[in-house]
Amino acid sequence: MATTRITRPAPGAAAAAAAAVALPGDVRLMNAVASGIYALALLALLAAAVLWLSRSPLFAIRGLRVEGDLLRINAETLRANAAPRLAGNFFSTDLAKARAAFEAVPWVRRATVRRIWPDRLVVHIEEHRAAALWQGDDRDDRLVNQQGEVFSANVGDVEDEALPSFSGPAGSSAAVLSLYRRLQPVLQPLDLEVEQLQQSSRGSWRALLDNGATLELGRGSEDEVMARSERFVRTLPQMLARYHAPLEYADLRHADGYALRLRGVSTNPAPNAKPGP
């Protein structure tokens, strides 16, 4: 004879199932609405706490530490120029705006700002290091840093440093600095220094030397300009020794030589003759 086994649900599960079935729809809706209200209240409470933290004087910024290798500016100058532009407390201070405030101070190239609990900011400053004066088309003298970037600062701060002067089209400052760094060592055996290096709007280079001479370097890539310059430097001492006169002008734009003008001596070739050495 077959035996049928009947499994009964646990009392607790049966009660829960019965309760779920027994709850009418409006009660379940009421419970859902209540849960939503509790969640919104919690969010509002959190928002109020955040707002209180952002405005509370308990977390005001009470210290500013300046780091970096500073030569042109000092910590007091930075604080005096940038601190009035800082807004908020430890939590609400906008670090991007704080960085911009410090980078607006003359001679500051880059600033990095971070928080130090509970009430301090630390700013690390990288200064501009001037490599040359920059004479733009607007005749507003500025400076070129060691990275080839043009920046604004008091030119009088570097008047005792005998910096070279650069000029060229907008955006060419890095190229001018690069050529200068290669050209200057080449001229040193002649005891000559570049006082001005210019690039025209058409890409032609000209160097004015400390003895008053002018070098027309011509156009082309940096390597091409340097090849002509190195050839000129190798052969110039022979010409100076031959004529016993100082250099006044040299035109290096010729493919197979260069033309010279010495003070008191003319070495210009005849109309049908080739250029000099």
pTM: 0.75
- Per-residue pLDDT at 271: 45
User: Using CA atoms, how far apart are residues 163 and 109, in angstroms rounded to an integer?
Assistant: 19
Best CA proximity match to 225, nearest among 202, 207, 247, 248 = 207
Kindly tell me the sign of the dihedral angle through the C-alpha atoms of 26, 28, 29, 31: positive
Question: At 92, is the pLDDT very low, low, confident or very high (cuts 50, 70, 90)?
Answer: confident
* Site of tokens 């002649």: 190
* Site of tokens 């700002």: 113
**End-to-end C-alpha distance for the chain, whole angstroms:** 127
Q: Averaged over 132-136, what is the pLDDT?
A: 91
Residue 125 pLDDT > 60, yes or no? Answer: yes
Question: At 273, is the pLDDT very low, low, confident or very high (cuts 50, 70, 90)?
Answer: very low
- Per-residue pLDDT at 141: 78
Pairing of strands 130-134, 142-145: antiparallel
Residue 109 or 81, more confident: 109
Q: Where are the domains of the chain?
A: 58-127, 130-266
CATH number given to 58-127: 3.10.20.310
User: Using CA atoms, how far apart are residues 151 and 141, in angstroms rounded to an integer?
Assistant: 10
CATH 3.40.50.11690 fits 130-266, yes or no: yes
Lowest mean pLDDT among 37-46, 119-128, 171-180: 37-46
Tens digits of residue pLDDT in 193-210? 999 999 999 999 999 999
58-127 matches 130-266 in fold: no
Q: What is the CA radius of gyration of the chain?
A: 37
